[in-house]
Structure 1
Amino acid sequence: MTVRFRSDGSIQNVGFYAQYNSFPRGLLPVSTIPSVPSTDYPNLNYSCGGFLSQASGYFSSPFYPDNYPNNARCVWDIKVPSNHLVTITFRDVQLEGGCNYDYIEVFNGPSHSSPIIARVCDGAVRSFTSSSNFMSIRFVTDGSITRRGFRAEYRSIRSNDSTSLSCLPDHMLASVSRSYLQSLGYSARDIVIPWWNGSYLCHPQITPTQVIFTIPYRNCGTFKQVDNDTISYSNLLRAAVTNGIIKRRKDLNIHISCKMLQNTWVNTMYITNDTLEIKEVQYGGYNVNISFYTSSSFSRPVTSSPYVVDLDQNLYLQAEIIHSDTSLALFVDTCVASPYPNDFTSLTYDIIRSGCVRDVTYQTYSSSSPHIARFKFNSFHFLNRFPSVYLQCKLVVCRAYDYSSRCYRGCIVRSKRDVSSYQEKVDVVLGPIQLQGPHEKKSLSKRSPSDPHAH
């Protein structure tokens, strides 16, 4: 006997359970299939994880307080304001027993490139604090036995006032308190960037309370390093005894590092036959500007507001990294459309996802620099009751001409369940999309809105 199970490209459900056995030919057995207890399984078509940028908040496992799903891979990235730390408290943790099956991992920074602070297991109600303004939480479950899950709260706390660091588009701004230096026996003029004290560009500004260094990303000995998901710019401030043959004070080394997240989300919007609003968001230290342009020459940005477009009109967009480090490349990983400005999960349409083109009108254009990305697609809207179309685009920043980086790998097919905060977190919605109006030129879907498979 052969049993074949087949599913289409949309709508998942619990599935089936079957049992087989053998028996002598000619003898029909009495059914011995055990009854399977009725279980309310959650819809398997879910997303989890996210990017949390508020000063405080909370999150929980999928479907909490109901049971979480099997084979979950969720990552929450928490970024609080500069010169603050992240403190997370797990209020309720009910997982499968042991620490090798279902567990939570807390990372002291991005999960792919930072050390782990702790692994949280069943029943562990604890708090943890990062050493920077970034923390990642990863939730992993195996293929059997699910429970209630967890609920966690986080908040930002001010780090010490002795030192501070800000990561700006053109430079790092590092400050050291003069009272802190004096408590260690140093004056304001004792602290320098080693080996660069002869360069006026690398000298600090001394105020009555602070010693302030303006450190370029590509000068004064700044070191650049590319990790799995960050590009780091590091330098060193030092105060030390420089004369005599003995010393009774400890040398002071202040290691500074700006870690720029390579994955950058920016929001923009176009509204068919109504208005236009363009937003730019600085995320993870890189300032990315995205604008509409009037033509494929990308010579004139759209400045009018409102910006009225027709259905099936070519829309040209250019994104650019605003940063002093010119050896960077920009890649359009994902662009998702929604009729809602703050909801990219309920009703969405993928234009491009994980570098894979989903809309037939999407097209890229070459640019004079790798830190500029250009593309276009044709306008549409979500039915007459949704006249507005909002876009959320994920842009990835990499080292230019590093052909092993994400920017040069093109289309990547990821597992639907392996969801991190910067990866697949928006469900595809195709069925409800239709082009309206007398000049309709094409249909984005072959299904009608009443089709039960539209989702």
Structure 2
Amino acid sequence: MFLSRTPSHGDVLHASVGQTLQLYAEAQAQNAQIQGFQVSGPQNVTKEFRSGSDGKAEVTLRWTPKESDANKLVPICFAADTAITQSEMRCVVVTVTHTGALQGRASVTCLPNKMTVALEKASMPDISEEFLSLRDPSCTLTTNGTHIVGTMSFSTCGTKLEDKGDYIVFKNEIHSIVRSNEIIIRRNNVKIDFYCEFPKTISVSNFYNLHQADYIFTESSFGSFGYSFEIYQDGNFTSRVSPDAYPVQVKMMEMIYMGIQAVSELPNVTLFVESCKGTPDNNPDNPMYYDLIKNGCVKDETVKIHPSNQTNFNFEIQAFKFNGNYDQVYIICNVILCEPGNPFSRCAQGCLSEPSRRRRRGLSMETTGHYITQGPLQVVGPAGPSSPAEHKKINAAPKSDTAPEGNFPGVVPEPRSDGETWRFREVFASNITTVVFGSGFVLSLVLLAVVVRYFSRRRRAEDQSFLIEDEFEK
């Protein structure tokens, strides 16, 4: 297998005409010795092979692009060979330009739940942070005068997780951006990769959080800011569910208490929850979802929002599951930070029944919307016995042929534990109704027969009287 210093399959590297590109790869074989590397690429690529101990070996590839390679995408592939086997083929793509991409000098700080990259401004003259972003373009960068800084958690700003054999690696990049209204540009292209890696030889959980609760972003107008998204044990919103308890097991229709907290470098900000939805996985673009909050408006009748300060949002929902073979639910919310007191901000607008009336973001200082996720919630069974008041509340919901708003109307609670009793009552009531209507129908037939008989007798009497009178006259 390839080790951590090896580029990932599909990585894009940058090279310039006349400048030598150097590519390093390292691999390790189990119970065998690597004898060499097979390389596929340009004709003038060279390789330097070195064999190590414990089945390890490494190779250094060097390639100097020619003028004919300019503005091309050149693939380079390689694989490690033993006497009887060959590793997977790994390929990278080299983008060749004349000017080259500025690499700059950067330092990376790796913490248990986030990483920070600091880029020396002196290493990139005439480059402004306004034209730089992380892999996710919604995450821009800030400056402190000497460095351009970006901070993110391991699940935000386009950070990717890769398994590199002996290490777990979290990768991101700083790159230059071109604005849509720019016809020409006169600045160098920037491409700086950075990463944090944690060895597999010890418990990975000691190095980074497996429980996704903290989300950290960077934007030029707001600096670094973040959100924590937690599940709480009760409505006091003080005791968090332990990360060891995930996935959190809940019973159908049990109340779930959740809270979002915002933290910002700015002293005074307001948190706004634009939307929350349930999905069967942690993909915010999953077409199967159920709206809980949409456009700032509560859409599910079990959602209850609890009072809190301007940087907290505490709420509760009733547990549910999706129809089909799904036993887990993730809650995904889209959140925004605004400057308080600005009547033009999205936070000040609140619930929008008509999203087209939303004011433009440029009129106020606010962040872009960022998705944060909590879960999974694992539905393990029906709800336990409830009080008569709760039973009345659950069954008092008006019936409707229209499903709740959302792409998949099949989000339904399972029957309660006293469902058989309730079903018996419905059947019993239905039988009584049938007997009443049947009796009424029979009574109507009897009355109709009496009326018909009465008029028949009267008609015959009139006919006889008429015949007697006619005979008498004759």
**TM norm structure 2:** 0.36
Structure index of larger Rg: 2
Identify, as 1 or 2, the structure richer in helix. Answer: 2
Higher relative contact order (CA 8 A, sep 6+): 1
